[in-house]
Amino acid sequence: DTGKTKAFYMDLETGVCGDANCRIDTVRIFWDKYGFYDRLVLPKGVNLEKAKGENFSKEDYKKLDFILSDRNAGLKDVFKEEIVDTSTGEGIDAISGATILLNTDDYVKGAVWTCYTLWHWVNGDIFEIIRRITGDDLPLADLYSHLQSEELTKKYFGLEELVHRKSIDLQTIQMVIDELAINDYLFSKLSSEYFESASDSLYNNSMAAYFKIGTRQQKVICLNALAQTDHVLFPKLLESMASELHSIKDYQVVDLFLDLLDQTGEITQRELNLLFPLVLEENFLIARRVYWFLQDKPLSDDQRKQIEIFQKNNKGKL
């Protein structure tokens, strides 16, 4: 009644196999407006079949619904030749090789091919097509509502659409940074992708804020994104990050940051001064990593003396 899309459906002619034979039946698949599977509807008098011509039971249909709803089901990563016997040209349902690792939870017994074809229709390219149609129909205010929703699926959708539109400004950037507090892995990855659309200046400021407020996991995501970006990284950003390292006390974060500094090819005296105290870090792995990093850097006479003392005290462990 409101003129807005509530759901999507498609009538699909698909091969349904059982009893060593296949036939074509029309089924109707429904998705919600975010591209997620909703339900499967069969025409009156049509049933899905398993091996030996046996119809699906109520439990089989429930299991199929569960399989089709799982976008990461095991059927995602196998090829059709691996799960059906195609040697006769009939596409008979049967797991064809002992090398295939397919959990029995990922298909209805005796109906592997039926489950496979339906899953790939349900969870293939149509997912992104539906999301694009829905996203293109929403004003920016609605995307903000999605971004700030407590439902993760809505948050993902809102941020994905902002990435797609390259809608980048100070207000939206701050909203994304605020939402990083949920500490969700996928949302954190999408956030770093979103910041890529910004100018160099906005990008550097955004990633500095991301690194400062982020959890350990988010700092790792941030550093990996910085290592792959085409943006120019400003010394102010790297100095800001270097100032955080002493309080983090995490080897992986320190290691990734030092790799990033090596990648940039330049290091400021302020960055050196901020890094140097880590040589005295109680965590020896961190101290040793920084020690090796500093070996060819332009240290002051006092810093060089401290490095020599560290080398002498830890001669057997370097």
In tens, the pLDDT along 119-178 reads 999 999 999 999 999 999 899 999 999 999 999 999 999 999 999 999 999 999 999 999
- The reported pLDDT for the residue numbered 96 is 47
Name, of 43-47, 121-125, 308-312, the range with top average pLDDT: 121-125
Q: What's the per-residue H, E or C state across the chain?
A: CCCCCCEEEEEEEEEEEECCEEEEEEEEEEEECCCCEEEEECCCCCCCECHHHCECCHHHHHHHHHHHHCCCCHHHHCCHHHHEECCCCCCEECCCCCCCCCCHHHCCCCCHHHHHHHHHHHHCCHHHHHHHHHHHCCCHHHHHHHHCCCCHHHHHHHHHHHHHHCCCCHHHHHHHHHHHHHCCHHHHHHHHHHHCCCCHHHHHHHHHHHHHHCCHHHHHHHHHHHHHCCCCCCHHHHHHHHCCHHHHCCHHHHHHHHHHHHHHCCCCHHHHHHHHHHHHCCCHHHHHHHHHHHCCCCCCHHHHHHHHHHHHHCHHHC
pLDDT at 95 over 80: no
- The reported pLDDT for the residue numbered 89 is 43
